[in-house]
Chains A and B, each alone.
Chain A
């Protein structure tokens, strides 16, 4: 669950005000698209939610963590409630598919038995059964992104944040991937998907939040269109 009230964000280095009073609520189990042009503040919102940057003002709560007052040593515990997926997959090349996913469990202290049980289940869920021993560079872009999804999913996060997850994929793979994310959402995980792709957003009847120049300009079930008229 995410609650953002009047959030302002200024980057210290450049002094740029990236967000001017953003209000955004995402409830448990929702599937939300966050759309907007480059530099509109989408990535800033993601960084605020994952605790990579701190807001200049307002209130932010993520899965029960008060992001305005969170201590640095508590950040790992916040991040264990989130799964993050990036456009460039961010897999570790020298690890197999299995190890890339198992790694995420190992670093948060899961037992070997739990890893052996959970990783094959998640890999099967994302459609990578039989690919366990492959290395990322042996896989297609779509498959690599599925590994990243499996890794995000393996620690059972309450929410998955996907930053342009289909940016490097062709339209067919993009649609498949989005269907996979929808399936994950239906299993109970909250989804926040940041994207540019109009057709993809319009293919799903989901809530669409549009942002431009650091302000939310529309929020509803009307698809990408509401943002385009701006």
Chain B
């Protein structure tokens, strides 16, 4: 394509944007709003997944060893536990170590003369997937030498339920919002095609190709989508930084942590600009389609 044609097409695209400035403004605003809502839910899902991953790390299953077994015999159980499916690691804790941890946790004179024989040798076990905790608990109980297993099944179930609900709701919202943005974009660009319908008719009459006729409207959609995406990105990052500063760094300090801005910034930029541009380009082509049938 020659440079002057390209220049003409780009200029026509921008002319479209400014010829109905208010609608273009509305489109950018709505695209931006949809992207911010989508982004917020996206961030929620990503952070919840991260939180659950952390909790999976911390959520230990404790296997108590039969008290009749010596330390030697208790240590011999380790490979059997590690061989259980879904076990990512098992750490042996002697009864003496367990007592010291207990005393340290309570820091009370009352437990000063506690005898180590009150405690059992035990394994602290980490799981790969906490949603399978129930099954894994039963498998560990079946290992020879294991007397009892303690696992917080109820916590695991809550995490999983929260993650699933949030993921489904977010996905549904994201799809709805993309569709909404697409229709708003299409309608705005339809206005551009309407105000320029005579020009389009003349272009067809003198033999302009469909690609050439379509191009300014696609450029218009692309620019609107890009601007909407970049603005949404800037606002989302600002809001997220504010949230990190005020909540995680202030009110709820130490309770939970969120991913840092640097970890979410680039994926978010790519998603926002990508969705904005795709919505714009498809909106533009869909708006012009009716004019190209003849």
- The answer to whether A107 and B4 touch across the interface, beta carbons within 8 angstroms, is no
Chain B neighbourhood of A155, CB < 8 A: 206-207
**Would you give the shortest CB distance from B276 to chain A, in whole angstroms?**
29
- Number of interface residues, chain A, beta carbon within 8 A: 24
**Would you give the shortest CB distance from B201 to chain A, in whole angstroms?**
7
**Would you give the shortest CB distance from A158 to chain B, in whole angstroms?**
12
Give A82 to B206 CA distance when docked, in angstroms.
8
Of the candidates B1, B202, B208, B294, the one whose C-beta lies within 8 Å of that of A90 is B202
Give A41 to B201 CA distance when docked, in angstroms.
22
**Would you give the shortest CB distance from A70 to chain B, in whole angstroms?**
13
- The answer to whether A92 and B199 touch across the interface, beta carbons within 8 angstroms, is yes
- The answer to whether A111 and B202 touch across the interface, beta carbons within 8 angstroms, is no
Give A84 to B206 CA distance when docked, in angstroms.
8
Q: Which of A66-87 contact B (CB under 8 A)?
A: 73, 76-80, 82-84
Give A108 to B210 CA distance when docked, in angstroms.
11
Q: A141-156 CB contact bits vs B (8 Å, 1 = yes)?
A: 0000000000100010
A52-B294, A90-B198, A90-B201 known; A108-B2 Cβ under 8 A: no
Which secondary structure characterizes the binding site on chain A?
Answer: mixed
Chain A neighbourhood of B199, CB < 8 A: 92
- Does any Cβ of B come within 8 Å of A135's Cβ? no
- The answer to whether A111 and B2 touch across the interface, beta carbons within 8 angstroms, is yes
Of the candidates B4, B201, B206, the one whose C-beta lies within 8 Å of that of A111 is B4
A52-B294, A109-B5 known; A92-B207 Cβ under 8 A: no
- Does any Cβ of A come within 8 Å of B8's Cβ? yes
Of the candidates A50, A82, A106, the one whose C-beta lies within 8 Å of that of B5 is A106
Chain A neighbourhood of B202, CB < 8 A: 90, 92, 103-104, 151
Chain A neighbourhood of B114, CB < 8 A: none
- The answer to whether B205 and A79 touch across the interface, beta carbons within 8 angstroms, is yes
Closest to A47 in B: B294
- The answer to whether A106 and B8 touch across the interface, beta carbons within 8 angstroms, is yes
Chain B neighbourhood of A77, CB < 8 A: 207
Give A107 to B9 CA distance when docked, in angstroms.
9
- The answer to whether B210 and A73 touch across the interface, beta carbons within 8 angstroms, is yes
**Would you give the shortest CB distance from B7 to chain A, in whole angstroms?**
10
- The answer to whether A106 and B204 touch across the interface, beta carbons within 8 angstroms, is no
Give A92 to B206 CA distance when docked, in angstroms.
13
A107-B212, A111-B4 known; A80-B207 Cβ under 8 A: yes
**Would you give the shortest CB distance from A90 to chain B, in whole angstroms?**
6
A90-B198, A104-B202, A111-B2 known; A76-B8 Cβ under 8 A: no
Q: Which of B5, B199, B207, B210 has the most CB of A within 10 A?
A: B207
Q: B192-225 CB contact bits vs A (8 Å, 1 = yes)?
A: 0000001101111111111011000000000000
- The answer to whether B205 and A76 touch across the interface, beta carbons within 8 angstroms, is no
Closest to A95 in B: B199
Give A77 to B207 CA distance when docked, in angstroms.
6
Chain A neighbourhood of B203, CB < 8 A: 107
Of the candidates A78, A107, A112, the one whose C-beta lies within 8 Å of that of B208 is A107
A90-B198, A92-B199 known; A151-B2 Cβ under 8 A: no
Give A79 to B198 CA distance when docked, in angstroms.
17
Give A111 to B4 CA distance when docked, in angstroms.
7
Closest to A85 in B: B205
- The answer to whether A84 and B205 touch across the interface, beta carbons within 8 angstroms, is yes
Chain B neighbourhood of A90, CB < 8 A: 198, 201-202, 205
- The answer to whether B210 and A76 touch across the interface, beta carbons within 8 angstroms, is yes
Chain B neighbourhood of A50, CB < 8 A: 205
A90-B201, A90-B202 known; A76-B207 Cβ under 8 A: yes
13 intermolecular pairs with C-beta atoms under 8 Å apart = A50-B205, A76-B204, A76-B208, A76-B210, A84-B205, A103-B202, A106-B4, A106-B8, A108-B206, A108-B208, A109-B1, A109-B2, A109-B212
Can you list the 10 inter-chain pairs with the closest CB atoms, starting with the nearest? A80-B207, A79-B207, A107-B208, A104-B206, A76-B207, A76-B209, A112-B4, A107-B203, A84-B205, A52-B294
Q: Known pairs A79-B207, A107-B206; list 11 more (Cβ under 8 Å).
A: A51-B294, A73-B210, A78-B207, A79-B206, A80-B206, A107-B203, A107-B208, A108-B206, A108-B207, A155-B206, A155-B207
